[in-house]
Structure formats: C-alpha cells, structure tokens
Amino acid sequence: MSETYVEGNFLGLPESAGPVDLVVLPLPYELTTSYGQGTADGPAACIAASAQVEVFDAALNEDLPASHSIHTAPAWEGNGPTLASQLDELGSYLSPWCTGDVFPLALGGEHGILPPFMWAMRHHPALDGDLGNLTVVQIDAHADLRAELDGEAYSHACAAARSLDMGLGRLLQVGVRAYAKEEAEWIRTDERITTFFAKDTQHPTTGVATWEQWIDLLSGLTGPVHLTIDIDGLYASLVPATGTPVPGGLSFWQAIQTIEAVFDAPEAVVISADVNEIATNDHSPLTEFTAAMLATKTVASHLKARKEGRWKAMTDAQGPVRSGAQCTYFSTMMNKTEQ
C-alpha cells in the first residue's frame, strides 16, 4: 500500500502535478457477458483491492510510482441506449489518452472493450494510422474469434475477431482452451494468428518446452504491442468471480512471466494494455485481487521499460496524433450491416 493512501486511486497513489506518465482507465462496461454478472463492478473493485498490493516490484527494484506520475482517471460512464453507441462512447473516452506520451492501462469490464481500444489506438503515433503495425498479445481462456454470439457481432466472444477486422497486424494468444470449430478454423487459416493452446502449454510432460517457445516468441517481438489480459486465461481458482471461469488455465506465474517477457522484449514497445473481465462475488475477494496484481505488474513493467530506455519518447514520434476525437465507427459499422 502507498504511504499516503488516496481512496479511489490505483494502489492508493496520490495524484502528482505535471504531465501524466501512465493513466489507469476504469471501464465498467457490461453488456454481453454470457452468464455471471458483475463486470460493471469489476474495475472499482480492482482499484479497491489494489490497496492491498505491495508497491515494491522486485524486477523494477523500486517502490511504485518510482518517480513517475500515475493518474487514475474518472471511470467511463456510458449511458448510450444501444451497443453501438456504448462502443462509440468507449472509443471517445479512450481517445485522448492514446496520443503517445502517456501509457494507457484500461481495467474492464467485458472483453468487448478491445475493439474500441483498437479504434482509439489506431492514430497513436507509433502506429501511424495503421493497426497493421500492431501486435496484440492476448491472455485468454477463449479465442474471442467468433463471428457472433447470440446474434451480436460485438459480443465479448468476438473481441479478437473484430480487432482483426479493423486491420490488426498480428495476434498472439495463450491460455486458450474453450473455443468453437469456426474459431479453430480461423486460427488454422489466418497467418496473422498464433495460438498457444492451454492443453499444450499446461501439458504435464511437454508443457515446459511449449511454454519456453511461447516466451521465446514474445522475446523476439518487434514493433508496437498491445497487451490484453482476460483474467479468465488464468487457472479458474484464481479468478472465481469472472464471467466464464474455465478449468485448466495458466498459473499466476505464467501470467507474470508473459507480462515481463513482452515488456522486456528488446525490439518491441508495449504501447497500451488492458486487464478485463474483472468481476466480483460475495464469497471471495480473490478475483479482483488477482486482477490488481496483474495490473500492478503491468504498471511496474512499463516503468521498467522507461527506466531502461525502451519506452521511446512517443511524443517525438512523427505519426498523426488525434486527441479527443469523437468515435462514430461502431454506429457506422452496425448501420452498414443492418442494411
């Protein structure tokens, strides 16, 4: 816990004057969770649970915020009447923080936040208007590659599919163990997608070697990266309240190692991240605490990258910076498909 605890702020850290280095963006978005409720309460619960997380990070070898400015933004308060308007509101909310000088870390909320995050990141200076320059690293029990779920193309079960539709260059998945035939087919045929299935990485005898391949793949990444952590990618007992817990997932340390490997990759720059599907129940505070631990590791890993000179000064990048743009992408897309 921070020595001067501020309620409602991530890790209880006080706001500091001057430019923001990292912003925590609570997205209590819930529209399409298959079963189980509570992702709307997840971000606030995660922030409250972060009060119990140690601010010392051994890899960083400093106490957070490690002489940097970490800002917890007021939570997104969507009130749009339709799914399309809510997604547009998410895009508009995220956009001012995706200009390159700040590291945006979103706390969700359903995984359906990913396409609006991609929309907001598209004009990040490191991407130069083209999501084809971006790699998404996804921890998830599900592939999120469905064409639709319950008639909804922007369901949380379609988050990765819609991001690829928007032009995402590369998708690396780990922890996947619950998926449909159409998703298996897409994984097999689309060369942008590399999936490390949980049955392989968690295999009792060959799992260790497969896991090493995953870490090697991350260490060799180049260019801009977005890290998206669906907490249901972890072993279900660590995240009992998440919307769709699935047995057989990653251990906590595998999730931590994944975060460290992607941020430490010498030729890559992680430019944004989210931790999503955080939910609460009355039986155990473990789900939001696990999420707070992963979010804290993400914060520490970003600051370590800055300290070691791997966070290129994004403000110096030459791409077009679009700040605070109004998103109409999702309304436009859905009107098209309805006609």
Task: Tell whether residue 111 is a contact of Mn ion (CB under 5 A).
Answer: yes
Residue 322: alpha-carbon gap to chain centroid:
21
Do 138 and 160 meet the contact criterion of CB atoms below 8 Å apart?
Answer: yes
84, 99, 216 from 338: Cα distances, Å: 12, 33, 44
**Complex with Mn ion: residue 21 or 277, whichever CB lies closer:** 277
Q: How far is the CB of 282 from Mn ion (least distance, A)?
A: 24
Contact 176, 137 (CB under 8 A): no
Minimum distance, C-beta of residue 62 to Mn ion, in the bound complex (Å): 32
Strands of the 193-197 sheet, one edge to the other: 70-72, 22-27, 103-108, 267-276, 222-230, 135-139, 170-176, 193-197
Give the shortest CB-172-to-Mn ion separation in angstroms. 14
Give whichever of 88 and 230 is closer to Mn ion, judged by the CB atom: 230
Residue 110 binds to Mn ion (criterion: CB under 5 A): no
Q: Does residue 30 belong to the site contacting Mn ion (CB under 5 A)?
A: no
Nearest-approach distance from CB 140 to Mn ion, in angstroms: 4
Distances (CA, A) of 135 to 139, 165, 277: 13, 14, 21
- Residue 143 or 269: the one with the smaller Cβ distance to Mn ion is 143
Nearer Cβ to Mn ion, position 161 or 317? 161
Least CB distance to Mn ion at residue 230 (A): 4
Q: Which is nearer to Mn ion, 127 or 178 (CB)?
A: 178
Number of residues that bind Mn ion (CB under 5 A): 5
30 or 230, CB closer to Mn ion?
Answer: 230
**Given the complex with Mn ion, which of 39 and 99 has the nearer CB atom?**
39
- 3-class secondary-structure state, position 316: helix
Smallest gap, in angstroms, from Cβ of residue 322 to Mn ion?
Answer: 27
> Which residue intervals of 57-113 are DSSP H helices?
83-94
Residue 164 CB, nearest distance to Mn ion (Å)? 14
Alpha carbon distance 33, 261 (integer Å): 30
Stretch that binds Mn ion, among 52-60, 70-78, 108-116, 247-255 (CB under 5 A): 108-116
Query: Cis peptide before 14, with omega less than 30 degrees from 0?
Result: no
Q: What is the DSSP code string of 247-297?
A: SS-B-HHHHHHHHHHHHH-TEEEEEEEEEE-----SS-SHHHHHHHHHHHH
Shortest distance (Å) from residue 141 CB to Mn ion: 7
The CB-of-275 to Mn ion minimum distance in angstroms stands at 11
Q: Which of residues 137-196 bind Mn ion (CB under 5 A)?
A: 140, 142, 144
Map the footprint of Mn ion across residues 209-238, applying CB under 5 A. Answer: 230
Q: How far apart are CA 54 and CA 64, in angstroms?
A: 9
> Which residue lies nearer to Mn ion by CB, 123 or 226?
226
Q: For the chain, first and last CA: distance in Å?
A: 53
- Nearer to Mn ion (CB atom), residue 228 or residue 296: 228
DSSP alpha helix (H) spans, the chain: 42-49, 83-94, 114-121, 159-165, 181-189, 198-201, 207-219, 252-264, 286-307, 329-338
Q: List contacts with Mn ion (CB under 5 A).
A: 111, 140, 142, 144, 230
